[in-house]
A and B are shown apart, each in its own frame.
Chain A
Amino acid sequence: MDFDFNEEQYVFQETFKNFLSEQYPLEKHIALVDSGERNGELWSQLVELGLFSLIVPEEFGGLGMSFVDMALIMEELGKSLVPPPVTETIIASDLIARFGTDDQKNHYLPDLAEGKLKFSLAMLEESAGFHPADGETTIAPTVGGFVVNGKKILVPQADAVDAILVVGKMADTGNLAVAIVAPGSEGVALRKHSALDDSCYFHEVSFDNVKLAGEKLLSSQGSAIGERLFDVSAAINATQLVGIAGRMLDIAVDYACQREQFGVPIGSFQAIKHKCANIAVDVDGGRSAAYYAMWTIAEDAPDRAKAVSVAKSFCGEAARLANNDGIQIHGGMGFTWELGLHHYLRRTKVLEYSAGDVAYHRERVMAETLAELSL
């Protein structure tokens, strides 16, 4: 029994933390968004650091690490608002490594490990709930391949990736499967959303009889692949949310130590102290929940669904508190566009409402608990 990271995992965290604070501070993020450029040099720098090779199995050119090894790194990526499709591409590596055929693994994983491929994820639909099984997108077998039909929303960077992982229901079995669709394929139409976080480049993507060769389909026993895609996404989002909450806490504490009113730093007032303490307690609990969820993802533990839902619902609320009170502590400055706290707030909202919101995950925790208690 050991609920802590090992020295190597902390070293990796330090590496990414130092890199991001030097190379991708908030000003750089803002400049990147303003320029309209996609990942700029950030992507190639992350490739150089080896980020995309970490969870790729060794036989395909990766380091064969797990999501436990990734947890602290994901927290750092969240903290620094690293934009899509970084985590989406890592999730794609996991799905292909776990569910891909030998040919698919050989085809995609070495390039993924080297950062040569960018993947996006298409899960949400306009009139469906959060879970992929609620969606109406279909994948129908045809001679020599498959046909995808449906419409997804909030697909990040859909116009700037090599492929989109589209989750849908198999027309014959009703099981969830994932189609690998290049955004330029015939029958694919993109419309850029107007959305809360400009750095995500969200798109609505329609699939109108998109024909795919058989090797572009990832499938599993039953709907396991769809369940895993959902859980991995939710766990990573939760970890990123707690990263943002921790960053907001640091920023608020720094500001409260410097900003003077009534002749003293505002951080000496209990009204401010107590807000900071409450955020700290939530960040601490959020870390416990997110790290454990990442462990269940790594181990495919039997309590994975519950652990992920505990984390996503808890971290969603923790990040809310951290952003709301973090901005409040800054007073009028917190409300200015220029100071830039809204970038954290905006990303928080986007993560909070993807892969299941607080209410969705609470209901899932309730259902899992009743099953545990045989009620």
Chain B
Amino acid sequence: MDFKYSAEEQQFRDELRQWLSENLPKGWGETVFEPEDEDEMYLSRLEWEKKLYKGGWSGIEWPKKYGGRGATLIEQAIFAEEMARAKAPEGLNIIGRNLVATTLLHHGTEEQRLRYLPKILSGDEVWCQGFSEPNAGSDLASVRCKAELKGDHFVVNGQKIWTSYGQYAQWCIVLVRTNSEVAKHKGISFLLVDMRSPGVTLRPLKQISGESEFNETFFDNVEVPLENLVGELNGGWKIAMTTLAYERGPEDALGRQIRFKQELDRLIHTLSQLQRNDRAIIEDPVVRQKVAKSIVDLEVMRLNVLRRFSKALKGEPRGPDASMVKLYWSHIMQNMYEMALEVLGPLASLTEGDSLAAAMGRYQLSYLQSRAFTIYSGSSEIQRNIIAERVLGLPK
């Protein structure tokens, strides 16, 4: 056990820090922020991703062969820390980089990797994820969106839902039903679908936060070439599990932990400035207990991730354990945002745009967004089933 960084790791950090100071606008995160308009914000995030790519800082963990740096998990951790320290924007192609690329690295053919990975890296092709359907949510294996193989191509018909970033995406990973005669998870295939194909339509969905990040996606006789099948025909379930293991895993959690930590630090600053009953809110012992609980929870989230990185570095396979990571962070973060409103007291209801809103109303939006944490990438109920059955060995 050792929490010190090696000279190489330190050099990696210095180099990145230098690059960030040269490439983020002056005053970034202090006086200069992301655009307020949702569309503009997402497009500015894509621009940022392209800039990272030009600087050689995109897909750092990928093998060098596909344009990455072959960065270790520890370097990935450093990367996440430094991006957060600089308050660098998130990217737009999160699904492409974190889910599609890792899935193709595990299960794709060499042709598929060479075709798709470079454009994910460069930000030229943004990806979305077509897993959930109106009648296949927690019961994901019951997907009905159908693909029929006709010669050298599939014909896809059906509907997907909760398609985040669908409006910005060129490509979509889609779980389709290719056999209805067998047990439901044995008849699923994993396709790469071009969103510009004839027959693909999108309908935006408005979320409880008022934003429209996600969509319904309809496939109407969409032709998909056979070479866009990942893995074997009817072998898609296992591949989807790989995708989900990354979606729920420690790399994802680390990036989030650092952003959440910034939010919490900012809350503490706000509570030190705002007065209530003639003292700073942070002087109130009840408030201190609540804030401290979130500090503790977030620190444990960080340590959980580091412990898993160390296990992974020793070659331990990732598996259902990812559900523990996701179940934990999703609940502590919901608690944190709920707490953030609670400690603001009478100001809690004031949102962005009101002159009295605390911290420009950021926590109210985050609070609304946080309701999704325990639903997406597998609801908490599903994560608990996975932990109980596949980690603890309780009977089905």
Chain A: residues with CB nearer than 8 A to chain B?
1-6, 68, 249, 253, 256-257, 264-265, 267-268, 270, 272-274, 276-278, 280-281, 284-285, 287-289, 291-292, 295, 301, 309-310, 313-314, 359, 362-363, 365-366, 369-370, 373, 375
**Which A residues are in CB contact (< 8 Å) with B6?**
1
Chain B contacts to A: CB under 8 angstroms: 1-6, 9, 74, 77, 265, 268-269, 272, 282, 285, 288-289, 291-293, 295-297, 299-301, 303-304, 306-307, 309-311, 313-314, 324, 327-328, 381, 383-385, 387-389, 391-396
Most chain B beta-carbon neighbours within 10 Å: one of A2, A6, A295: A2
Given A256-B394, A288-B307, A375-B282 in contact, is the A3-B1 Cβ separation under 8 Å? yes
With contacts defined as CB atoms under 8 Å apart, how many contacts are there between chain A and chain B in the complex?
147
Q: Are B387 and A3 in contact (CB under 8 A)?
A: no
Given known contacts A1-B74, A362-B293, A373 and B269 CB-to-CB distance under 8 angstroms: yes
Are B288 and A366 interface neighbours, CB within 8 A?
yes
Complex interface: chain B residues within 8 A of A274 (CB): 381, 384-385, 388
Whose C-beta in chain A lies nearest to the C-beta of B321? A284
Nearest CB of B to A298, in Å: 8
CB-CB nearest 5 A-B residue pairs = A273-B388, A288-B303, A362-B292, A277-B384, A277-B387
How far does the alpha carbon of A284 sit from the alpha carbon of B325 in the complex, in Å?
9
18 interchain pairs, CB-CB under 8 A: A1-B306, A3-B1, A4-B307, A256-B394, A267-B394, A268-B395, A276-B394, A277-B327, A277-B383, A281-B327, A288-B306, A295-B1, A309-B296, A313-B292, A362-B292, A365-B295, A365-B296, A373-B265
SS class, residues of chain A in contact with chain B: helix
- Min Cβ gap B316→A in Å is 9
Task: Determine whether the beta carbon of B296 is less than 8 Å from that of A314.
Answer: yes
| Residues of chain A with a CB closer than 8 A to B268's CB | 369-370, 373, 375
Across-interface contacts of B299 in A (CB, < 8 A): 289, 310
Cβ contacts under 8 Å, A281 to chain B: 324, 327-328, 387
Chain A residues, CB < 8 A from B288: 362-363, 366
Residues of A within 8 A of B384 (CB): 270, 273-274, 277-278
Q: Which residues of B contact A4 (CB under 8 A)?
A: 1, 307, 310-311, 314
Partner of A257, one of B272, B385, B395: B395
B391 to chain A minimum Cβ distance, whole angstroms, is 6
Chain B residues positioned under 8 Å from A375 (CB to CB): 268-269, 272, 282
- The CA of A90 and the CA of B33, in the complex, are separated in Å by 54
Residues from chain A with Cβ under 8 Å of B285 in the complex: 363
Contact of B300 among A1, A273, A278, A310 (CB under 8 A): A310
